[in-house]
């Protein structure tokens, strides 16, 4: 399911802590965004329609919780990025970042470790 960048900000709040009321989501986002309450409630409704979140009645309010797992979202978003920009290949992605940004020693060590693990597993 396609989740917009703004919707993913709301999802991040719910992935960190749930269930939350709309007011609690608004309060959490007030720390990092300048969005109005109506905007956040619109985003919650969009996520409900997409079935990325669920709302359970709690008295006179609803408590929101994620249905979409963060890992599934990250997988879909990263696969889409790879497919759109790098023909589904990881090596060109790494080459792009190594040309545009200086990879730290830690990044290089982690990449080498990952390659060794992948190579040993075959």
According to CATH, the topology of domain 5-66 is Arc Repressor Mutant, subunit A (1.10.10)
pLDDT computed for residue 41 by the predictor? 97
Q: What is the pLDDT of residue 27?
A: 97
Instruction: Name the token pair of 112.
Output: 């080498």
Residue ranges per domain, the chain?
A: 5-66, 90-122
Query: Cα 14 to the chain's mean position, in Å?
Result: 11
Q: What band does 1 get if pLDDT is binned at 50, 70 and 90?
A: confident
pLDDT confidence bin for 122, thresholds 50/70/90: low
So what's the pLDDT on residue 101? 82
Cβ(1)–Cβ(68) below 8 Å: yes
Q: N- to C-terminal Cα distance for the chain?
A: 32
What's residue 35's pLDDT? 97
Instruction: Give the pLDDT confidence of 77-119 residue by residue, as tens digits.
Output: 999 999 999 999 999 998 898 888 888 899 999 999 999 999 8
- Which residue, chain included where needed, has tokens 């996520």? 47
Q: What confidence score (pLDDT) does residue 100 get?
A: 84
pLDDT tens digits for 21-70? 999 999 999 999 999 999 999 999 999 999 999 999 999 999 999 999 99
């Amino acid at each position: 399911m396609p989740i917009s960048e703004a919707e993913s900000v709301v999802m991040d709040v719910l992935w960190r802590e749930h269930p939350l009321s709309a007011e609690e989501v608004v309060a959490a986002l007030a720390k990092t965004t300048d969005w109005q309450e109506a905007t956040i409630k619109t985003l919650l409704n969009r996520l409900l329609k997409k079935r990325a979140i669920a709302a359970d009645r709690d008295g006179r309010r609803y408590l929101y919780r994620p249905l979409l797992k963060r890992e599934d979202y990250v997988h879909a978003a990263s696969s889409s990025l790879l497919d759109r920009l790098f023909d589904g290949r990881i090596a060109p992605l790494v080459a792009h970042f190594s040309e545009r940004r200086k990879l730290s020693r830690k990044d290089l060590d982690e990449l080498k470790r990952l390659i060794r693990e992948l190579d040993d597993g075959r």
